[in-house]
Structure 1
């Protein structure tokens, strides 16, 4: 039985990845931060077959302990302070967890592997936010990185550190440069879930308007459940490498609003959406569009869920959830 250790298992990617690995017959372990982590109960309820370890990406000793106790064949480092807007307010925490945390995890894997550095295969969750002020469209593995947020800068550090460990020590280390991927499990602070939740509440008469920032930003949005399959496929390859994971389509926030409101029968949302400068980024990333041809040819991966299907899935989930919460 193959054993996997996942950091960030409480997030949407961690939950979907754990489900995929369990379905493939893995022994799955997860690292959860904090003694009273409110998401621990979620993991135990959704993933009762996962073994949970307490650890922190800023504490190398706790990562070494989790490596010793789980003895994994594969490590998926998904843990991060991942809300981009938060990173401007807490740049140091973001840097410590999202950046230096990668170094700690790589070092824990290297030390645990001992004389055979490639014995434990490592996946690093890199991000399309690393492209920031994009230097070419679409963005590929060879595109110059120009991050535009503390989060993006921290992800660039972790990305290059992963490459360095692969080249310095011969580790089987891969980075997935994942473009925006969403799901009903996405936190409500993220724009897609903010929209789907608000649209559901407006349809049910529980909310009057939705306040947004920049409506013209464009993103390459896919389904998180599809993207975790690409993570797994990377670690099944003979050697570690870097891969862009994306749909190859870009949509604006306005497109997102169009699909979400249309799904509940509202064609004109102009009077329901307000803009507030507070929700504008200090340095915006205007357009992200990924070229995942390398992943498609080498991994045999391609997305299954379309943009429209994704948005409708999220709205349907929030309609159900909001009805229950409101007792409707």
Structure 2
């Protein structure tokens, strides 16, 4: 049985990726941060996954895990995944987003050389590498990790690639991200539990896609005969204000109007005003194009947050692929 090792398996992408891999009959071993607050999420969404508590900053433990598991596919999704948090914790960001990648790639190469088996490596990078937030600790560390992947491919012949992923969401996105903050806040307003939604800037333009779609792109990239680095996104620009309006409409509230309050303290130290993917390289290289559009995506997220608030059930496998709100 082929074995896939997924770091950061308890995150949004890890959950969708694990389900995709399990459907294909693969053994899935996934790491989660020890003593993290996501234990309920792990228990709910990761049935069938061999979950290993491991801090990717622990280099000896990471090397030992790779040696013991002998994976045929490695997906590195573990990351400090917030530009804002990276400004607050730059050393942690470098340790997780850069140094851990160096250790992991070295461990993969050592296992490949010891066993003689082909190993494929995927690195989750970010579109922020090429944006005006490129000087953030988050983007700099991700760019350095891309260099690690290219070097392993070009100098050691490792089937390794990275994707510059544009923003992608799902109903299992955590509330630490602005999109879930929006859909949760709108659901609370719709159910009479709140009367306002407090946000930072609404002017940023992004390329929002569905995490389930992006995971399929990741699988196709890893399975390709020749490794290729790609931007992954929908190619469709939307402002954050458009996303907010979609959420209010999905909840049956009409326009956002006076519900939204802007707080300057929530604006990031550096942000990219417009960040949109070119979808053509992925279409040419792996035949992939994003399927879900913003209205359906936000509708699903609002529907799930309404269900969460009504039922009191925070996590359910039924939330992975729900129907949109009416």
Q: Normalising by the residue count of structure 1, what TM-score does the alignment of the two structures yield?
A: 0.92
How far apart are residue 115 of structure 1 and its match? 5.8
Paired position in structure 2 for 1:137: none
Unaligned runs of 5+ in 1: 134-145
How far apart are residue 39 of structure 1 and its match? 2.2
Tell me if 1:194 matches 2:193: no
Paired position in structure 1 for 2:11: 11
1:209 pairs with one of 182, 196, 199? 196
Paired position in structure 2 for 1:44: 43
The 1:268/1:41 distance shift into structure 2, 3 A limit, reads: closer
Unaligned runs of 5+ in 2: 314-326
Tell me if 1:323 matches 2:307: no
How far apart are residue 41 of structure 1 and its match? 4.2
The answer to whether the 8 Å contact 1:64/1:108 transfers is yes
Tell me if 1:314 matches 2:301: yes
Q: Describe the superposition over 1:222-275 as per-residue Cα deviations: whole angstroms up to 9, x where unpaired.
A: 000110011111111112220111101010011001111011222232211111
Paired position in structure 1 for 2:23: 23
Q: Describe the superposition over 1:71-110 as per-residue Cα deviations: whole angstroms up to 9, x where unpaired.
A: 1100000000112211111111111111211111111111
Q: Describe the superposition over 1:140-165 as per-residue Cα deviations: whole angstroms up to 9, x where unpaired.
A: xxxxxx70421111111111211111
Q: Normalising by the residue count of structure 2, what TM-score does the alignment of the two structures yield?
A: 0.92
1:296 pairs with one of 283, 304, 309? 283
Distance, in Å, in 2 between the alignment partners of 1:254 and 1:46 is: 31
Tell me if 1:95 matches 2:82: no
Distance, in Å, in 1 between the alignment partners of 2:279 and 2:98 is: 24
Tell me if 1:128 matches 2:127: yes
SS in 2 for 1:312: helix
The answer to whether the 8 Å contact 2:80/2:96 transfers is yes
The 1:265/1:44 distance shift into structure 2, 3 A limit, reads: closer
SS in 2 for 1:215: coil
State the superposition RMSD in angstroms.
1.6
SS in 2 for 1:271: helix
Deviating runs (4+, > 6 A) in structure 1?
Answer: none
Paired position in structure 2 for 1:56: 55
Q: Describe the superposition over 1:285-326 as per-residue Cα deviations: whole angstroms up to 9, x where unpaired.
A: 100110121211221111121111000000000011011239
